Amino acid sequence: MVILKNFFIGFFYFFISLLFLLPFFGIFLKSLNCKMWIYILKSESTYISLWTTFLVVLLTMIINFIIGTPVASFMAREKFNGKILVEILIILPLIIPAMVSTMGLQFVFIKLGLIETVLGVAVVHSITTMPYYIGSMRAGYLTLNKDYTNLGKVLGANQIQRFTKITLPIIYPSFLVGMSLVIIVSLAQYLVTFIIGGGQVMTLPVIIMPYLSDGAIGNGTVYSVIYVGFTYFLVMIVGKIIKRIYRKREKNDRIKKSV
């Protein structure tokens, strides 16, 4: 009975892995061409798109952190009239099609001078990713005891110190999930980037699309592999930074206990 159970569990994991990894394997095998890789790696547009994508993602993360963190904290801890309305407003970007909201923002961005700029694209990406970040951080704040932050306040720690030394090490899994979702969702945005960027802000999705639509699938698969690797790299870096903060707190706690 145990052997049969292990067989079904193993088959289930194999099927799920195959379902998610098979498309990538197909792309990876199609990209195994030295000439295509040499052409892509020698192209200046490749490095411009990587740098631009990094800037857009970084700004998107910063905007989410500055706006989304206090909103998540407030929504998790406070009870007030109209809370349901605020919750609806938070998830509204997930309900309204991105193209509709972006077309509306386009006219505003033209007046503000944000059209065809990295900052303008990052702002639109932030609107798209904010519900994911707030939702994740809110779940983390619900597990945080107020007494910890209040104690830090009594001991004279400012708001930044309380967040980095008390709040973040406790809710770091939620913060990691939230930021990972921001990175993944932001990198997946093609249409809104093209509309607000006007074809001038060349992120990886924007540079990949012409190759796929023009039939140059080979070059498109190379960019796709770079895209997947770049996404994984950014998520890994964020994870290492957050885990380092968490481990530093654990080390300090062990030192205090030993004393």
Q: Range with the lowest mean pLDDT among 149-158, 185-194, 196-205? A: 149-158
- Contact (Cβ atoms closer than 8 angstroms) between residue 178 and residue 133: yes
The per-residue pLDDT for range 233-245, each reduced to its tens digit, is 888 888 887 777 6
Which candidate, 82, 84, 184, 80, places its Cα nearest to that of 132? 184
Q: What is the mean pLDDT of the chain?
A: 80
pLDDT confidence band for 66 (50 / 70 / 90): very high
- Residue ranges covered by each domain of the chain: 1-30, 33-258
The per-residue pLDDT for range 73-122, each reduced to its tens digit, is 888 888 878 888 888 888 888 888 777 777 778 888 888 888 889 999 99
165 or 76, higher pLDDT: 76
The per-residue pLDDT for range 7-25, each reduced to its tens digit, is 666 666 666 666 666 666 7
Percent of the chain at pLDDT above 90?
Answer: 18
Cα 241 from Cα 65, distance rounded (Å) = 15
Answer yes or no: is pLDDT of 2 > 60: no
Cα 169 from Cα 251, distance rounded (Å) = 12
Q: Which CATH superfamily is domain 33-258 in?
A: MetI-like (1.10.3720.10)
